[in-house]
Amino acid sequence: MNIPSFGVGTFRLTGQAAVDSVRNALDVGYRAIDTAQIYGNEAEVGQAIAESGVPRDALFLTTKIWVDNLARDKLVPSLCESLDKLRTDRVDLTLIHWPAPGNGVGLPEYMAALAEAKAMGLTRLIGVSNFNIELTRQAIAVVGPGEIATNQIELSPYLQGRKLAAFLQEQGITVTSYMTLAYGKVLKDPVLADIASKHQATVAQVALAWALRLGYAVIPSSTKRENLASNLLARDLHLDADDMARIAALERNGREVDPAGLAPAWD
């Protein structure tokens, strides 16, 4: 089972905005949805799926275990709560949201608990999010090679993470890029705007197509139906070697998300 290359994210969406965004995404053709316990919108995602009429088996559903639930006696019960909210008996992918080195729960404990959730049939695949190379190595050592389906990390034209991405791809771990538009900052970039003009595309499509060309999965979000539909068209945008070289030069270590106590030492 592979990670879909294109999904819809739900970060920062709550209440009716979350329901509407997911409903619109499903309506325009998305079949992968990314949520998390800390987003506080799993119930809204579940409602949107139920109201959409799209069969559950046609969807790829991801959630993430929050740091408060990493302990062995909490992880599985918290995932069961997530499943109730999502109105399903299993998700397709469950991630450890942050390694949280200062949280008091060791990596071997929570990775073993995550593997247990998979063995119980609560999730079809397991993975990590925001892990650096060393922590990914440690996670592989606990659950075994081939078990970690993805590492979901912040990547954008301004934060390209080449060392970490190369390591993950060597290990056969799918790179999932979040914050690919850098909170919208890349949308104002003149180089990306020039490439977009050349291809008669949007800047968002160019940034997403860049990530797809590198073999990454993407999960952009939007509250606007037209943007959800437009973003999907990035799958049909083929950037050439010159475009990719120009985007490669935009690297500036522009990290947007780096919470103290949760984040690792970045590569």
**238 in a known ligand binding site:** no
- Report the alpha-carbon distance of residue 115 to residue 131 in Å, rounded: 17
Q: Which residues are part of the catalytic machinery?
A: 39
Instruction: Of 139, 165, 196, give the one whose Cα is nearest residue 266.
Output: 165
Which two tokens mark 157? 């034209």
Cite the annotated binding site for substrate by residue number: 97
Cite the annotated binding site by residue number: 97
